[in-house]
Amino acid sequence: MPTQAIETRMRHAPSLPEIPIIDLPSEINAQAEEALNAAFAGASRDKPKAILLDFGSVEYINSTGIALIVSLLAQARQEGIRMLACSLTDHYVEVFRLTRLADFLRIFPDEVSALAAIPALE
Amino acid sequence: MTTLLKSLGQMFGRGNRKQETQFFSPARPRSAGPAIEIAPNDPLIAHLQGAGGVVEIERLNLDSPALERMRRVGVKLVVPLVSQGELVGLLNLGPRLSEQDYSADDRALLNNLAAQATPAVRVAQLVRQQQVEAQERERVEQEMQVARLIQQTLLPQQLPEMPGWRLAVRYQPARAVGGDFYDFYKRPDGRLVLAVGDVTDKGVPAALVMATTRSVLRGCARRMLSPGEALVRANELLYPEIPANMFITCLYANLDPVSGRLEFANAGHDLPYLSHRGAVDELVATGMPLGLMPGMRYEEKEITLLPGDSVLLYSDGLVEAHNTEREMFGFPRLHQLVNEHCTGGCSTLIDSLLADLAKFAGPDWEQEDDITLMTLERETATDPSQAEQKQMRSETRTLADFALPSVMGNECEAMTQVVAAVKELDLPDSKIQRLRTAVSEATMNAIEHGNRKQPELPVHIHVLVSDTALTVRITDRGGGRSIPEPEIPDLEAKLAGRQSPRGWGLFLIEHMVDEMHVIADEGHHTVELVLHLQGDAHADPGD
């Protein structure tokens, strides 16, 4: 399979501009590592209270992708940044529960509900 | 005779050498004398048996080692204790303490004493003998119970059910439990492994070797080896493990219940009989018994059992049974009886054969060896529509069968092709998603770990469906390497940096499917993913 460029965009929500949102690529696997790490580095530079991972475009996450998310979570914990996730498909919600990632990464059905929960975070 | 003499010697304090040397010492007149062992072929025995009373040692002229020993230790008179013509003991006397010769009165007294002592000695000997025999019987019985327990625990408690097939087994252990065994194993591909075997020897040793053999053969069945390969492997594993004087005969077969194909190999076991349209033939495949010598090869044969065909597997306990005239049941008789009883079906073959054996052996027959009889019969389709339905129910169909080069990223291609192949099953989306993840992870492992990313090595993917299950087999060329057990990853440890963030593959696969089997042989490694199509184990309200 030819290697393809993985796009991972970082943006800020207009309603909560201090909170970075990372738009994840359609496939989270080994190829996504570099882009994901770069996006996280950009998002965490200003030590935000939280970072929201938007899985809205994600169609496929493999075990390497799970490992990448675990690495991001570990970095965020070290830096005291809360991690949130939104717009996961039912299947990956199940996978996040099985792997217990859901215990460390609060999952919301969509971006709006995730952003609404951020002010209440300690 | 020797036993009785020994027993007598023991009764008189035999075994204490200090006492023996002092027997005739004037200072210790009451000490018992040394036991004189007499060989069974010593002429002294015949002489004493017919002497009819006291015998004076000095007057004997025999070429007898025992007589020489008696003289050496100073025996003067011997009083034979003869019971019913059999010499059961001796009273040996040294010189009189008065240093005078024994008188006629002394001899008469000794003869009287012998007449009274003999029955008492004989009774004591018989009691002792019975005690020893009872202890031995108890020991043997205990050993037999242990052997029986081992054997009965390991023999299958239930027969596998296969639509369109009738399977029957009878195992009749001999009192002195032999080493017969039989086993079944249902392979993930729907085939049934059948094995019948016999370990030489009896009792606990045979039962232990039988247990080992069964485990080894089960391991071969799990690896889905062909019958010949299974026996080769079993022989290599058993040869160094079992005592040199023991070996195992074994018939090993794989049955495909859909096609009726029966592959078999034979390690020196009695040849099975095939009953086909009124004719009976032996199923011949050559091979040495297991455990005799290393490096053996086993001929592999196959036949297709048609409706109405049946096969008899058995152990030698039947054919080697003897009647009261020491005539053997034998193969020709068995061949003839199978022919007679299998006309129009073999459902009663086992009962009929055992009845024939009972008739042949007679009412007082004590079974010498274990008897194992197994029949496998393909049912006749009396109701075509019913038979067809059964066939349909048990049929396994291939949905896709393809291979991909071992290039990272091809796991997505595998996933796409498998999803396309199962489209016709109209599975719920949740199930499709789980299948995608499981196939992708298993293919990734095959590419990365099994084939070590060597593009020229293919990953083979076989998708099958039956009425009850969807099965995906993913095979790489990484056989012979150890397979890691799936473990629950420790997320806290990963987040704290104490464990690699990776290591989720097998965990995910195991949780995405209803069953996961790992099968490996020397050349291949297969992960088999099974999704149940009835009673969804992962069902959620959305399904």
Instruction: Tell me if chain A has a CB within 8 Å of the CB of B405.
Output: no
- What angle do helix axes B429-445 and A90-98 make, rounded to 10 degrees? 50
What's the pLDDT score for residue B258?
84
The beta-carbon neighbor of B491 closest among A60, A90, A99 is A99
- Check: CB of residue B373 under 8 Å from CB of residue B408: no
B516 bridge partner residues = B529
CATH code, B80? 3.30.450
> Residue B264: pLDDT band by 50, 70, 90 thresholds?
very high
The residue ranking higher by pLDDT, B390 or B533, is B533
**A1 located within any domain:** no
Q: Are residues B205 and B342 in the same domain?
A: yes
CATH code, A21? 3.30.750.24
Chain B residues in contact with A99 by the CB 8 A cut-off are 489, 491, 504, 507-508
What residues contact residue B124 under an 8 Å CB cut-off, 6+ apart?
Answer: B7, B11
φ, ψ (nearest 5 deg) of residue B287: 170, 150
* Cβ separation A73–B413 shorter than 8 A: no
For residue B516, the distance in angstroms to the closest alpha carbon of chain A comes to: 17
Residue B119 CB coordination number (10 Å): 12
Residue A29 sits in which domain range? 9-115
What's the pLDDT score for residue A16?
86
Residue B455 sits in which domain range? 396-532
The residue ranking higher by pLDDT, A2 or B514, is B514
**B474 located within any domain:** yes
Q: Are residues B378 and B400 in the same domain?
A: no
Q: Which parts of B256-394 fold into alpha helices (H)?
A: 316-319, 331-341, 349-361, 384-394
- Check: CB of residue B416 under 8 Å from CB of residue B376: no
Q: Are residues B350 and B462 in the same domain?
A: no
The pLDDT of B23-33, averaged and rounded, is: 44
- Check: CB of residue B223 under 8 Å from CB of residue B520: yes
**B494 located within any domain:** yes
The pLDDT of B162-171, averaged and rounded, is: 90
Of B287-301, B372-386, B395-409, where does mean pLDDT reach its minimum? B372-386
What's the pLDDT score for residue B17?
36
* Cβ separation B408–A30 shorter than 8 A: yes
- Check: CB of residue B182 under 8 Å from CB of residue B197: yes
The DSSP string of B189-243 is TS-EEEEEEEESS-HHHHHHHHHHHHHHHHHHHHTT--HHHHHHHHHHHHTTTS-
For residue A100, the distance in angstroms to the closest alpha carbon of chain B comes to: 7
For residue A88, the distance in angstroms to the closest alpha carbon of chain B comes to: 13
Instruction: Tell me if chain A has a CB within 8 Å of the CB of B430.
Output: yes
Q: Are residues B274 and B409 in the same domain?
A: no
Chain A residues in contact with B433 by the CB 8 A cut-off are 89-91
Counting residues of chain B whose pLDDT is more than 70, the rounded percentage is 86
> Residue B386: pLDDT band by 50, 70, 90 thresholds?
very low
At B191 the three-state DSSP class reads coil
- Structural domain count of chain A: 1
**B148 located within any domain:** no
Q: Are residues B275 and B348 in the same domain?
A: yes
The residue ranking higher by pLDDT, B30 or B457, is B457
Last residue of one domain, picked from the residues B382, B405, B437: B382
**B135 located within any domain:** no
Q: What is the pTM of this model?
A: 0.46
The beta-carbon neighbor of B504 closest among A63, A77, A91 is A63
Chain A residues in contact with B513 by the CB 8 A cut-off are none
Edge-to-edge order in the sheet of strand B55-56 = B55-56, B77-83, B86-93
Q: How many CA atoms are closer than 13 Å to the CA of B83, on its beta-carbon side? A: 18
CATH code, B169? 3.60.40.10
- Structural domain count of chain B: 3
Instruction: Tell me if chain A has a CB within 8 Å of the CB of B410.
Output: yes
Burial (CB < 10 A; 0-12, 13-18, 19+), residue B293, is: exposed
The residue ranking higher by pLDDT, B265 or B380, is B265
**B43 located within any domain:** yes
* Cβ separation A104–B437 shorter than 8 A: no
**B109 located within any domain:** yes
**A4 located within any domain:** no
**B516 located within any domain:** yes
Which residue, among A6, A66, A90, would best test binding to B if mutated, counting the most B CBs under 10 Å from its CB? A66
Q: Are residues B109 and B226 in the same domain?
A: no
What's the pLDDT score for residue B484?
55
The DSSP string of B142-182 is HHHHHHHHHHHHHS-SSPPP-TTEEEEEEEE--SS--EEEE
- Check: CB of residue B187 under 8 Å from CB of residue B218: no
* Cβ separation B412–A101 shorter than 8 A: no
Signed CA dihedral, B394, B400, B401, B407: sign only: negative
For B133-142, the pLDDT digits (tens) are 999 888 888 8
At B330 the three-state DSSP class reads coil
Q: Are residues B354 and B403 in the same domain?
A: no
Q: Are residues B337 and B462 in the same domain?
A: no
The pLDDT of B307-335, averaged and rounded, is: 88
Tokens encoding B207:
């039962």
Tokens encoding B204:
């606990």
CA separation for the pair B197, B291 (Å, rounded):
13
> Residue B77: pLDDT band by 50, 70, 90 thresholds?
very high
- Check: CB of residue B210 under 8 Å from CB of residue B241: no
- Check: CB of residue B73 under 8 Å from CB of residue B66: no
Chain B residues in contact with A104 by the CB 8 A cut-off are 491, 495
> Residue B536: pLDDT band by 50, 70, 90 thresholds?
very low
**B278 located within any domain:** yes
At B313 the three-state DSSP class reads strand
Count how many pairs of residues, chain A against chain B, have C-beta atoms within 8 Å.
Answer: 74
What's the pLDDT score for residue B417?
94
Q: Are residues B373 and B405 in the same domain?
A: no
Helix (H) or strand (E) holding B233: helix B227-238
* Cβ separation B430–A91 shorter than 8 A: yes
What's the pLDDT score for residue B387?
47
Q: Are residues B371 and B427 in the same domain?
A: no
Lookup result for tokens 């570990």: A74
* Cβ separation B440–A103 shorter than 8 A: no
* Cβ separation B495–A70 shorter than 8 A: yes
CA separation for the pair B22, B36 (Å, rounded):
14
Would you state the torsion angle of the CA atoms of residues B451, B455, B460, B461, taken in this order, to the nearest 10 degrees? 110
Q: How many CA atoms are closer than 13 Å to the CA of B506, on its beta-carbon side? A: 14
Instruction: Tell me if chain B has a CB within 8 Å of the CB of A1.
Output: yes
Average pLDDT per consecutive 10 residues, chain A (122 residues; last block may be shorter): 58 88 93 92 92 94 94 93 95 93 93 90 72
What's the pLDDT score for residue B119?
92
What's the pLDDT score for residue B23?
28
Q: Are residues B101 and B172 in the same domain?
A: no
What residues contact residue A113 under an 8 Å CB cut-off, 6+ apart?
Answer: A86
Chain A residues in contact with B504 by the CB 8 A cut-off are 63, 66-67, 99
- Check: CB of residue B316 under 8 Å from CB of residue B301: no
Q: Are residues B93 and B22 in the same domain?
A: yes
Last residue of one domain, picked from the residues B382, B408, B437: B382
Report the mean per-residue pLDDT for chain B: 83
For A46-72, the pLDDT digits (tens) are 999 999 999 999 999 999 999 999 999
pLDDT exceeds cutoff 80 at B45: yes
